[in-house]
Homo-oligomer: A and B are copies of this chain.
Amino acid sequence: MHSEQKIVLIGTGKLAEIIGFALYQAGFNLVQVYGRDQVKANKLANAFKAKAVGSVDEIRKDADLYLIAVSDDAISQIALALKGINGICVHTSGSVNMDVFDQTSDGFGVFYPLQTFSEGRNIQLNQIPILIEGNNSVTTDRLFQIAETISEKVVYCNSEERKTVHLSAVFVSNFVNAMLGMGEELISQTSLSFEILYPLIRETVDKAIVNGVKRSQTGPAVRGDIQTMKEHLRLLENRPDLAILYEHISAIIVKANN
């Protein structure tokens, strides 16, 4: 049944690979993979029994779904190049408005997997939330049907709310990773290795998820332990940017817990 649905995959990065693979496994007919990097396009096309194309002019017009998994700033060019296609056109970005496709096709929308994707991590999409938006109810329904073949957590989210969800994801993922990086840099000044912090990092997240974030806050800021905070700022004397950050986050912790 799904095999009658023709999909053109646009992009060859990790997200294109993971979504393409999930749709291929769900039985969809991936007809083309477009990518400027011909080696990567060939590799994905071979994996999905699709045809690799290196020029937008070669992209066929009769597919049912055009799934655009490219960097945010490349989406509008692709939208322009695809003008006149018959199928539904979607991008996979957290921050780009749906109306980038206003002139592209009749049915369009967004297909945003709420996850962080990097080389070397093969994510199973089935437990990953996919945020769907369509420009009309027929398109939205169709996108739900497709998304539900690869994920158990498909939800509707309009463009404005999606931006706030994406911003929230920046805090809980990109900024969390940045905190881990600063911690790694600091402990590298000692004879202990970053690895020794792994049980702490894991428990921090497990506790926040099971007990709730607010109940889970520990540390000098929430205790109002001025002496330890002063000592920490002294240790950061040579890193004024981290010292300012330390004071700023501590103030937010105090405010959030009072």
Q: Hey, which bits of chain A sit against chain B, CB under 8 A?
A: 71-73, 95, 114-121, 123, 127-129, 131, 153, 155, 157, 161, 163-187, 189-192, 194, 196-205, 207-211, 213-223, 225, 227-228, 231-232, 235-236, 241-242, 244-246, 248-249, 251-253, 255-256
Given A95-B220, A218-B117, CB of A183 within 8 Å of CB of B171: yes
* Pairwise interchain contact A256-B181, C-beta atoms closer than 8 A: yes
* Pairwise interchain contact B244-A178, C-beta atoms closer than 8 A: no
Inter-chain CA distance A225–B187, complex, in Å, is: 30
* Pairwise interchain contact A249-B201, C-beta atoms closer than 8 A: no
A-B contact pairs, 26 of them (CB 8 A): A95-B225, A114-B200, A115-B199, A116-B204, A118-B207, A119-B215, A129-B199, A157-B191, A163-B231, A164-B186, A164-B189, A164-B190, A165-B192, A166-B228, A168-B187, A169-B197, A169-B200, A174-B222, A175-B179, A176-B176, A177-B218, A181-B213, A181-B256, A185-B256, A202-B205, A244-B248
5 A-B pairs closest in CB distance: A174-B219, A172-B183, A171-B183, A168-B186, A168-B187
A115: which B residues are within 8 A, CB to CB? 199-200, 203
Closest CB in chain B relative to A70 CB, distance in Å = 12
Inter-chain CA distance A215–B181, complex, in Å, is: 10
- Which of B163, B164, B204 contacts A177 (CB under 8 A)? B204
Residue of B nearest to A226 (CB): B73
Closest CB in chain B relative to A42 CB, distance in Å = 25
Inter-chain CA distance A77–B123, complex, in Å, is: 52
Given A116-B218, A164-B190, A179-B179, CB of A228 within 8 Å of CB of B157: no
Inter-chain CA distance A245–B256, complex, in Å, is: 15
Given A201-B205, A204-B176, A211-B118, CB of A168 within 8 Å of CB of B183: yes
* Pairwise interchain contact B181-A214, C-beta atoms closer than 8 A: yes
Closest CB in chain B relative to A148 CB, distance in Å = 16
* Pairwise interchain contact B184-A249, C-beta atoms closer than 8 A: no
Given A114-B199, A219-B170, A231-B95, CB of A176 within 8 Å of CB of B164: no
* Pairwise interchain contact B72-A228, C-beta atoms closer than 8 A: yes
* Pairwise interchain contact B167-A217, C-beta atoms closer than 8 A: no
Closest CB in chain B relative to A96 CB, distance in Å = 8
- Which of B177, B194, B203 contacts A116 (CB under 8 A)? B203
* Pairwise interchain contact B169-A183, C-beta atoms closer than 8 A: yes
Inter-chain CA distance A242–B217, complex, in Å, is: 18
